[in-house]
A = this chain, B = another copy of it.
Amino acid sequence: MSIRDVAAAADVSYQTVSRVINGHPSVRTATRERVLATIEELGFRRSVTAHALASGRSRSVTVLTANTTHYGYATILQGIEEAARGASYALGIGVLETADERSVRAEIRRAADTGGGLIVIAYDPAGVRALRAVPAGLPVVGVVETPASPPGADRPWVWTDDRAAAHEATRHLLALGHETVHYVPIPSSTSGTAPRTAGWRAALRSAGAPEPRRVQGGWGPAAGHAAGRRLAADPAVTAILCGNDDLALGVIRALHEAGRAVPGEVSVAGFDDAPGSAYLTSSLTSVRLDFAGLGRAAFALLHGVVEQAAPITPHPVSVPELVVRESSGPPPDAP
């Protein structure tokens, strides 16, 4: 069924039907209502394909991401979907399987083929590379780590201030009396210093705490476990900050296996406040980041870019909040 069928049934030309479904003002009220009634009656739905081809606009957004299952990524996706659905935008997903330049470009092409806007999650090398490689002219929004310097208005980016969050978590542990805080990082997205690392380091420095040797990190509990084993072997370690809650899970497990009590002997704090973290034994002190809000903000920004409505300002979306639970406490030798 096409607008011609509707036109015939409503006894108008198909252009008038087009005007009605596009909310064009210059249609007599009586005509509009007749057409609307006919559309309802016939169950007509405009072909999004034909609309996209004829108009050159597509009301769709594709998310480019290296991962769809990790808590942060999945929740950003959820926020984007929510906002997209609210705006009647179709949502597509393209996964960046590797950070390889060729395959990243291939994924961008595939995403661009859909004709809609792009949201790139740039938390890892693949995402960072993708965000850089998007050709000019394509509407794109980046979900990024805290930038080192404020990005220009030509960079529609959103982020949560994870540098400040790492700073706060580190300060929390130091304030409990720990001499210093070890850090198990998530993989850095670029060659520079990751914001979480930077925040942790800054907090140590301003407290005059010595900066411990770097630890090898990762994304999941297995990496946390490996890091935890090494840290557990060092009796001087009394406080560990982890780049995410999955790492913290593995670290706590390793400490437990080594017979070191949490938080009695070692305090642990995570990052993200994943849904399970409050139910771990011991429940995990963590920094809550509003990933869903971040996703919604990313879509809102893209929507602004595409419809050229609002002026675009890159901005942090929310202030992360430290949630103190059982896993952090004073060091063993505290008074």
Contact = CB atoms under 8 A, between A and B. Distances in A.
A90 B77 contact: no
Nearest to A92: B92
Copies in the complex: 2
> In this complex, which of A50, A69, A85, A250 has the most chain B Cβ atoms within 10 angstroms of its Cβ?
A69
A48 B93 contact: no
30 contacts: A45-B109, A47-B53, A47-B113, A48-B113, A49-B49, A49-B58, A49-B115, A50-B53, A53-B53, A68-B77, A74-B74, A81-B93, A82-B95, A90-B92, A90-B113, A91-B92, A91-B93, A92-B92, A220-B275, A221-B275, A221-B279, A246-B275, A246-B276, A249-B276, A250-B279, A252-B281, A253-B279, A253-B280, A253-B281, A280-B280
How many residues of A sit at the interface, in one of the four size bands? 35 or more
Interface of A: 45, 47-50, 52-53, 58, 68-69, 71, 74-75, 77-78, 81-82, 85, 88, 90-95, 97, 109-110, 113-115, 220-222, 224-225, 246, 249-250, 252-253, 256, 275-276, 278-281, 283
B74 A69 contact: yes
A316 B315 CA distance: 48
A110 B95 contact: no
A85 B95 CA distance: 8
